[in-house]
Amino acid sequence: MTVAAAVVGASPSASVASPALAPVVTAKYPPAELEMVEESGLASPYEAKIAHCPRGKQPVGGGFDLPEGHSVAASYPVADSGWLVKARSDRGDPAPFEMTWYAMCSIPSKGYRIVKTSAKDVPNRHGVGLDCWNDAPPYPRREAMVNVGGEAKGSTAALTAIEMSYQPSRTYISGFAGGARTDADTVEVDLYVICIEQPDGSGDWFHQERGSYRNGDGPTWTCPRDNNVVGAGFFSWEAFLRTSKPRSTGNSDWELTGVNPLASEYEIDGHLICERY
C-alpha cells in the first residue's frame, strides 16, 4: 500500500507529519454562522456534483440523498467551493438519475485547511487513516479535526466508511475512509480531513453506537439538546450508503440509509459533529 499526503486549500508551506511529541488539542471548534446548502438535479454515474458554500464560508460537512439502486462513491470537502458528491448505480446502469447533495458551511476557523491522503490496492472494505498535524515552526503540533470525507475510485467502486474515531489512550481524533469494488478485490481510496489550529469549545464530536437495520432503512442520529448538527460520518463492513442527509426533521438530526448487497440487513455506526447555540 502506498500513501501520499497533500494539503488542499492551504499555503505551500503547510504539510502533515507525525512526530513523537506534540501538545494535544481536543476535537472541538467554532462553526460560526453555520449554513446548510441544498442542491439537486440529474447526475450520471460518478459525475461530480458540488453544493457550493456562500462567499466567505468553507465546508465543514456535507451529505447526499440518492434514489433506490444507487450508492455513494465520493463525499468530501473542496476548499473555497463546497462539498462534492459522486454516486454510482449498484446495477451498473449508465442512465442519469435524480439526486440531492448538501454542504454545511461556516466562517472558517483559524488555520482551516483540507489535507488529503491516498492509498492504492486497498483490500475491499478496508481503507486509509490520517491525523491532523502541522510541522510548521515554531514546533510540530497536533491540530483539531473538524470532519472527514472520502472517495472510492474505480469501476463499480463505492464508499463503505468516512468517519472520525476517538483514541482515548492518546486523546485525539483520527480520520478514516474505506471503500469496495464489485469487480475487483482491491480499491483506491482518497481520504480528506479538515483541520484547524485551535478550537474554542463551541462544537464537539459524538460517537454513535452500532445498530442493525433492514435494507432501505437506517438510523437518524440526533445531537444533544441545544445543538445544531454540522456533519456525520459512518462505518459499515457490509453496507453501501444511499442517504447521509442533514436536518431530516430538524436542525439537530442526521439521517442515514444503507443497503447490504448480500443480505437483507446490515450494521452501521459512526459519529455526529454538533454545534452549541
Q: Where are the beta strands (DSSP E) in 201-264?
A: 203-214, 220-222, 227-235, 240-246, 253-259
Tens-place pLDDT, residues 11-35: 333 333 333 333 333 334 555 689 9
| Residues sharing a CB contact under 8 Å with residue 37, sequence separation 6 or more, in sequence order | 51, 52, 53, 54, 82, 102, 103, 104, 105
Per-residue pLDDT at 178 exceeds 90: yes
Q: How many CB atoms lie within 10 A of CB 44?
A: 14
Q: Which three cell numbers stand for residue 121?
A: 490496492
- DSSP conformation letters of 102-130: EEEEEEPPTT-EEEEEEEEEEETTEEEEE
Per-residue pLDDT at 120 exceeds 80: yes
pLDDT at 4: 39
Q: Which three cell numbers stand for residue 146?
A: 473538524
Report the CATH number at residue 63. 2.60.120.690
- 207 exposed, middle or buried (CB, 10 Å; 0-12, 13-18, 19+)? middle
Tens-place pLDDT, residues 217-226: 999 999 999 8
Instruction: For residue 83, give the nearest of 150, 157, 168 by alpha carbon.
Output: 150
pLDDT at 203: 78
- The rounded mean pLDDT for the chain is 87
Per-residue pLDDT at 170 exceeds 60: no
Distance, CA of 15 to CA of 7 (rounded, Å)? 6
Q: Which three cell numbers stand for residue 269?
A: 455506526
Residue 36's domain comprises 3-276
Tens-place pLDDT, residues 80-109: 999 999 999 999 999 999 999 999 999 998
Distance, CA of 204 to CA of 227 (rounded, Å)? 10
Distance, CA of 55 to CA of 42 (rounded, Å)? 25
Mean pLDDT of 259-276: 94
What global pTM score does this model have?
A: 0.87
Q: Give the residue with greater pLDDT, 136 vs 249.
A: 249
| Domain total of the chain | 1
Most confident of the ranges 73-87, 122-136, 160-174: 73-87
Q: Which three cell numbers stand for residue 49?
A: 456534483
Q: Give the residue with greater pLDDT, 12 vs 136.
A: 136
